[in-house]
């Protein structure tokens, strides 16, 4: 009889690497890079603190493969050959994040049409369809050429090689949340008629070719993960049925871990929020059972588990040891992703693992401006944006504080967070070396 799997159980991946436990810090944007998009001492402080916090594996925030098209101005970007200073900074970052026998995996990404206008007024995307969001934060994208798509694949492989050579112990290819690879997967965003669009096989080509190129670049014994949407939750978008098929193809690609998430900037289910677009009638409705469940995407992961044998990670909503252990014991998933709680309590994994606490607070449920009533009036669109970006700002500012060697500020107001976050982004954009 095998022992029951819990959050304390080690996991050996297909490539042979072993995670010391089943808790992973999921990727969150940090905004700690300098004006040349290099890692800094702030990354070292933050990731040392997380490594000492007990998680088996840490995923970095978006490390961009092209600094012209980033998720935000403060991203780390590995864009072509790196200077000695940039390589040294990455080595220090990796050293801090791998302390305490912790795995540190670099999440590598291209923001696509979700590149903010402060970074690029004309981002790249599969097609020229813009985001349907208030506030004019994103420019109208330009459809990529075939040569630009091939260049993206080479860039992913290059960044993965740099990650391996500087001491990171794995990589995750970001194929979710409405960034470039996710955009190619979506028939709503990808309107191409060439070999990169149309059928699901063509829409998944960028993801699959990227996985193959990265594996060839880093070798058979280096962990490679993919983050994939369970669905976009947008009518006409990447569906759950699509996700199951793509997952089955990834199962044949020597992958070590598949992380299941969901949503985009327009439908931010990844952080437990609903529609943030100007046209909410286009959003898909979630099942009540999914809304009530502790983990946002566990039901979707169960369907994907039936189609794959590779290890699965689910992120979004886990807040109790009982919920985490029940999900692991069900064999639906193999790794528990925890994100926002670690912005406030970086030692939460260790305290959960040793039994000091049985749950971690869901801070996001108390962070709201106004009554939270949604409707068709422009006022409600403004409130949706304030609440969505205010929450995002609140958690991001906690990361900035820890990067500066300070403790998180649990008493920070959401409106102040919205304002201060906007100021910080403007400052980072002004500091970019173009």
- How far is the C-alpha of 241 from the C-alpha of 298, rounded, in Å? 15
3-state secondary structure 227-289: EEECCCCECCCCCHHHHHHHHHHHCCCCCCEEEEECCCCCCCHHHCCCCCCCCHHHECCCCHH
pLDDT at residue 369 in the model: 58
Fold for 11-365, please state it: TIM Barrel (3.20.20)
Say how far apart CA 209 and CA 225 lie, in whole Å: 14
- What phi, psi does 312 have (nearest 5°)? -120, 140
In order, the DSSP letters of 3-15 are PPP-TTS-EE-TT
Query: What is the model's pLDDT at position 81?
Result: 93
Residue 319 contacts residue 7 (beta carbons within 8 Å): no
- pLDDT for residue 291: 38
pLDDT per residue, tens digit, the chain (434 aa), is: 357 999 999 999 999 999 999 999 999 999 999 999 999 999 999 999 999 999 999 999 999 999 999 999 999 999 989 999 999 999 999 999 999 999 999 999 999 999 999 999 999 999 999 987 554 678 899 999 999 999 999 999 999 999 999 999 999 999 998 999 999 999 999 999 999 999 999 999 999 999 999 999 999 999 999 999 987 676 778 899 999 999 999 999 989 999 998 876 655 444 444 444 444 444 445 444 443 455 678 888 999 999 999 999 998 889 999 999 999 999 999 999 999 999 999 999 999 999 999 999 877 666 555 554 444 445 455 556 666 677 888 999 999 999 999 999 998 988 888 888 889 989 999 999 88
d(CA 124, CA 161): 24
Cα distance between residue 38 and residue 216, in whole Å: 26
CA distance 402 to 44: 10
Element (H, E) at 163: helix 146-165
For strand 18-19 and strand 11-12, is the pairing parallel, antiparallel, or unpaired? antiparallel
The predicted pLDDT at position 418 comes to: 85
pLDDT at 210: 98
Q: What is the pTM of this model?
A: 0.90
What are the residue boundaries of the structural domains of the chain, listed by start? 11-365
Residue 1: partners with Cβ closer than 8 Å, 6 or more residues away: none
Query: Can you tell me the distance from the alpha carbon of 211 to that of 198, in angstroms, rounded to the nearest whole number?
Result: 20
**Beta pairing partners, 214:** none
Helix or strand holding residue 124 (H, E): strand 124-125
- Residue 176 is encoded by which pair of tokens? 């979710």
Beta pairing class for 57-59 and 103-109? parallel
The DSSP annotation for 292-360 comes to HSSSTTHHHHHHHHTT--S-EEEES---BHHHHHHHHHTTS-SEEEE-THHHH-TTHHHHHHTTS-SB-
């Amino acid at each position: 009889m095998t022992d029951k799997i819990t959050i304390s159980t080690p996991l050996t991946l297909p490539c042979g690497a072993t995670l010391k436990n089943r808790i992973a810090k999921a990727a969150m944007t940090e905004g700690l890079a300098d004006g040349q998009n290099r890692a800094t001492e702030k990354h070292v402080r933050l990731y040392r603190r997380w490594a000492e916090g007990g998680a088996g594996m840490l995923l970095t925030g978006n490390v961009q493969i092209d600094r012209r098209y980033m998720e935000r101005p403060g991203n780390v970007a590995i864009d072509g050959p790196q200077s000695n200073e940039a390589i040294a900074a990455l080595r220090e970052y990796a050293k801090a994040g791998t302390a305490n026998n912790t795995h540190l995996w670099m999440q590598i990404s291209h923001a696509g049409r979700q590149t903010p206008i402060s970074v690029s007024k004309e981002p790249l995307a599969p097609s020229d369809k813009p985001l349907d969001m208030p506030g004019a934060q994103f420019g109208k994208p330009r459809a990529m050429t075939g040569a630009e798509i091939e260049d993206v694949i080479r860039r992913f492989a290059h960044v993965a090689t740099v990650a391996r050579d500087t001491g990171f112990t794995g990589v995750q290819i970001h194929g979710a949340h409405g960034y470039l690879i996710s955009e190619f997967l979506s028939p709503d965003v990808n309107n191409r008629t060439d070999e990169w669009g149309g059928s699901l096989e063509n829409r998944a080509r960028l993801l699959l070719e990227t996985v193959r190129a990265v594996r060839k670049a880093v070798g058979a014994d280096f962990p490679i993960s993919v983050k994939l949407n369970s669905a976009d939750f947008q009518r006409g978008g990447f569906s759950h049925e699509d996700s199951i098929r793509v997952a089955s193809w990834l199962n044949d690609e020597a992958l070590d871990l598949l992380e299941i998430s969901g949503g985009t900037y327009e439908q931010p289910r990844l952080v437990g929020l609903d529609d943030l677009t100007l046209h909410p009638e286009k959003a898909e409705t979630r099942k009540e059972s999914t809304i009530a469940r502790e983990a946002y995407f566990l039901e979707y992961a169960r369907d994907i588990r039936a189609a794959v044998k590779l290890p699965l990670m689910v992120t979004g909503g886990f807040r109790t040891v009982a919920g985490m252990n029940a999900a692991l014991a069900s064999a639906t998933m193999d790794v528990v992703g925890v994100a926002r709680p670690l912005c406030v309590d970086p030692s939460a994994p260790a305290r959960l693992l040793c039994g000091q606490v049985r749950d971690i607070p869901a801070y996001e449920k108390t962070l709201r401006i106004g009554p939270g009533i949604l409707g068709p009036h422009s006022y409600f669109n403004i409130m949706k944006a304030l609440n969505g970006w205010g929450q995002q700002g609140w958690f991001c500012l906690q990361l900035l504080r820890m990067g500066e060697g300070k403790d998180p500020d649990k008493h920070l107001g959401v409106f102040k967070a919205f304002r201060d976050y906007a100021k910080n982004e403007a400052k980072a954009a002004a500091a970019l070396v173009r």
